Amino acid sequence: MKVLTVVGNRPQFVKSAPLSVGFLITGIEEVVVHTGQHYDRELSEVFIEELGLPEPKHRLDLHTADVDVMTPAIEKVVRAEEPDLVLVYGDTASTLAGARAAANAHIPLAHVEAGLRSGDLSMPEEHARIEVDKIAWLLFCPSERAKETLLEEGVLGQAHVVGDLMAEASMRFAPIARQRFPVPFEPRTYVVATVHRQANVFQPRLGRIVEALNRLEERVVFPAHPRTRAQIEAEGLELAEHVRLTEPLSYLEFASLASQARVIATDSGGLQKEAYWYGVPCVTMRPSTEWVETVEVGANVLVDDDPDAIVEAVRAATMPELCPRLYGDGRASGRIAGVLLATIPGR
C-alpha cells in the first residue's frame, strides 16, 4: 500500500512523526510531500531533523498559504505518484489544497483530525475542516464528539474514532525535551504566550493582546511566529520588560518550555491540547475553540482579545482536580494504520 502524505506546517510535522513510525512498522509505503507553507527553518525543517521524520520525497517550496497556488502543484505530484490514498492533517491551507488535489486526481482521501468544529465561520480553518471532511473517504476522529458531528452533517466517508496523534507525540517527546533543553527559569513561575492566527496578528486585536501580556505580573516568554513579529514591529507595539519576545523555538525546546509553564496563553489549536496533556492550564485568546472538551473540564478558558479578561484568566488559571483522559490513549498511529490495512487493498 502506498500513502501520499501532505504536510506543510509545524503541527503537521509533529502529528506525522508517530504515524510515519506506524507506517514503517506495518509495512505501509509513505511518500511525503512538503508544501513549504511554513518555510522558516525553525517552523519546518527543524521538526524533520529533531523528530526523525523521513525526508520528504517532494519539496514544493511554495512559500505561500494560497490554496489555489498549492492545489495544482500537489495534484501534479499525486498524479505522478499514483498512491492508493492521500492523507492530510488538520485544517491548514496545505490540508485543503491536498484534499482538493486528491479529489481532482480521483484518489481516495484520509483526513486526520476529522469532525472538529468551533462553530466560528469567520475562521478560514473552520471552512477548511468542513470542506475536507466532505471530500474525505476515511475520517479519523480524535473523539466520539467529532464522530457524532460528522454523522449529524451526513458526510459520506467512513468515520473512525482513533484518538489524537499529538497525544502520542507529547507523551513520547516531552520527557526527552525537558532533559535536553532545561528551561532557564524556575518551573511553574512563568507564562508562555503564542499568537499566530490570522485574525490576531492585525490591529486592533494584536494591540489588545499585547496590552494584556504587558499587564501580566509574571514573566512572559513569547516565541513569535515570523508574521507576528513583523506586525508587532510594523505597528510599533512595545512590549513590557517582563515580556520576552524570542525567535521561534524548535519543537523540543518549545515542548520543554511549555510543559513547565504555570499557564499557557495562546490562539493555537494544537497547543490547547498539549497544555492539557502537560497538566498546564490554558487561556485561549479566541472567541471559540474546536477543542471544546478542554473547556468543559475546566482546563481551558476562552477570553477572546479582551485585555481585562486575559489578565484575570491568567491570574486565576488552575488545572481541575479531576482530569479525564481526552483524545485517546496515545495509540492513534497504530489504529490509523490498522484501518488503512483493513480497508484499502494492497497493490
Residues involved in catalysis: 196
Burial 202-221 (b: 16+ CB within 10 A, else e): eeebbbbbbbbbbebeebbb
Number of neighbouring beta carbons within 10 Å of residue 153: 12
Q: How far apart are CA 283 and CA 314, in angstroms?
A: 7
Cβ neighbours for 14, distance < 8 A, ≥ 6 positions apart: 47, 51, 165, 166, 169, 251, 270
Q: Find, among 194, 265, 206, 212, the residue nearest to 236 by Cα.
A: 206
Q: How far apart are CA 290 and CA 133, in angstroms?
A: 14
Instruction: List the 109-112 sheet strands across, edge first.
Output: 58-59, 29-34, 2-7, 85-89, 109-112, 138-141, 158-161
Cβ neighbours for 10, distance < 8 A, ≥ 6 positions apart: 38, 43, 44, 47, 251
φ and ψ at residue 292, rounded to 5 degrees: -65, -25
